[in-house]
Amino acid sequence: MATLDITPIAGALGAEISGVQLSEELSNTQFDEIHQAFLDHHVIFFRDQAGLTPEAQKRFARRFGSLNVHPYVKGMEGHPELLEIIKEPDDKLNFGGGWHSDMSFLEEPALGSILYGVEVPDYGGDTLFANQIAAYEALSDGMKEMLGGLKAVHSASREYSAKGQSAQARQSMQSDTATDAPEYEHPVVRTHPESGRKGLYVNPAFTLRFAGMTKRESKPLLNFLFDHSRDERFTCRFRWSEGAVAFWDNRCCWHYALNDYPGQRRHMRRATVNGDRPF
Ligand code: SIN
């Protein structure tokens, strides 16, 4: 019998889970239910997790795999595996506002990210998510067949170069620059290693071009895929509350932090679980 309440928040993806405190040691049954909900809904949410200290957040995240230490952004003091994502009330930076899948620029990109709301604005600052399995499944058979033979080149070089949006937004986080960041090729259609389902695996932040093609040649089809992938049919929107947690599957989801709360502070803390090489 299920021990947790799992309630979908939208048609395409996303479910809120209640009946568990992530700061406590999870039983195997609780872990299995959370893991299954993560696979079924692609992004899961937990409210009122006020006791989720950095240690507890890392312990929960490690149930799913080893933790990533970001190559270009300095981690939290004493906790290099945690990123503090802070926007101050007077920050003029174009913070958030870009669809992406975390760390697709790595040879083995992130499995998932676990974001904890330390301090959230009274209004605004929601996060959007987009289901890339649904986006793939909605394509025509002809397009699926063509994409099935393609790989795309991913790199941090644009976003984390000195002028890149992520590097700018993370000035307070002492971002290093990534002008010479390596490039990795990943399949455009990725098979989810746990569910076996196929999804699109390109994103506007880190995908530079198709393998074997120029940027100019790649642009029209990539732009079509970027537009298609964020169609509202495939999305959900999470309204943060203090102490809430979102855990998304980067292997089949994009996310987008809305920058619509000028004059307010937003402080989030992220753990990123390492994944494997896309196939
Ligand atoms: C992120 O892109 O990892 C953070 C998303 C957010 O702050 O809502």
73-82: per-residue pLDDT in tens?
Answer: 999 999 999 9
Judge whether 266 lies within some domain.
yes
- Count: domains in the chain: 1
pLDDT tens figures, 169-195: 554 444 556 667 899 999 999 999 999
CA of 100 to the centre of ligand 1 (A): 10
Instruction: Please give the mean pLDDT across all residues of the chain.
Output: 93
Q: What is the set of active-site residues? A: 100, 102, 255, 270
Best probe residue, ligand 1, of 114, 115, 249, 272 (max atoms within 8 Å of C-beta): 115
**pLDDT score for 17:** 98
Amino acid 138: pLDDT: 98
So what's the pLDDT on residue 56? 98
Ligand 1 contact, 85 CB (< 6 A): yes
HEC readout, the chain = CCCCEEEECCCCCCEEEECCCCCCCCCHHHHHHHHHHHHHHCEEEECCCCCCCHHHHHHHHHCCCCECCCCCCCCECCECCEEEEEECCCCCCCCCCCCECCCCCCCCCEEEEEEEEEECCCCCCCEEEEEHHHHHHCCCHHHHHHHHCCEEEEECCCCCCCCCHHHHHCHHHCCCCCCCCCEEEEECEEECCCCCCEEECCCCCCEEEECCCCHHHHHHHHHHHHHHHCCHHHEEEECCCCCCEEEEECCCEEEEECCCCCCCCEEEEEEEEECCCCC
Ligand 1: which of 45, 104, 127 to mutate, judged by most atoms within 8 Å of the beta carbon?
Answer: 127
Which residue CA neighbors atom 6 of ligand 1 most closely?
257
- Write out residues in the chain with pLDDT < 70, as ranges: 93-97, 162-179
Does 199 reside within a domain?
A: yes
Structural domain for 39, as ranges: 5-274
Residue 17 lies in a domain: yes
Q: Is residue 279 part of a domain?
A: no
Summarised one tens digit per residue, pLDDT across range 230-261 is 999 999 999 999 999 999 999 999 999 999 99
Instruction: Name the residue with the closest Cα to ligand 1, atom 7.
Output: 257
CATH value at residue 33: 3.60.130.10
Residue 174 lies in a domain: yes
Rounded distance from Cα 96 to ligand 1 centre (Å):
7
pLDDT of residue 11: 97
